[in-house]
Amino acid sequence: MATITPFLWFDTQAEEAMNFYVSIFKYARALSAQKMGGQVFAVEFELEGQKFMGMNAGPQHKFNESISMFVSLDSQAEVDELWTKLLADGGREDQCGWLKDKFGLSWQIIPKALPRLLRDPNPKKAQAVMQAMLAMKKIVIADLERAAASA
């Protein structure tokens, strides 16, 4: 069976990014840091069971929103905690549960309640939830539920 591993291109911060991500997620570990010429060249780490690779390859390519890491969470407390940690030291909030961390990598921090509420069989409720979500940066479950209840 083949495996698919996200491969992240950094300018010079692959090891710093690996250590940052490993410090944030509950089930995470650094697997390796390969050196070349005395400098870290490539890293490998695992977050919540997903393996990642990173490479220091220079400033030619930057992350953009066309690729993001989607994190599905059970509770508002988990959303709040991860949102705060990923924004630390220079991250930026975007719309609809998206943010960019200090390395410029995009993340979607999504409570499991969001897709459940968006799939409501009542189209008015689903639309009200969609409109509420579109007005948010960080997703707030209670606000989504209020929108659904008011439809």
pLDDT tens-digit series, residues 41-99? 999 999 999 999 999 999 999 999 999 999 999 999 999 999 999 999 999 999 999 99
pLDDT digits (tens, 9 = 90+) for 120-136: 999 999 999 999 999 99
CATH number of 1-61: 3.10.180.10
CATH number of 63-151: 3.10.180.10
pLDDT of amino acid 99: 98
Mean pLDDT of the chain: 97
63-151 shares the fold of 1-61: yes
Contact 106, 118 (CB under 8 A): no
Backbone angles phi, psi at 44, to 5 degrees: -140, 135
pLDDT digits (tens, 9 = 90+) for 106-115: 999 999 999 9
Alpha helices, H only, the chain: 14-24, 76-87, 113-118, 123-134, 141-150
pTM reported for the whole predicted model: 0.94
Q: In the chain, what are the domain boundaries?
A: 1-61, 63-151
Contact 59, 65 (CB under 8 A): no
Q: Find all residues with CB under 8 Å of 83, minimum gap 6, and list them.
A: 99, 109, 138
pLDDT of amino acid 91: 97
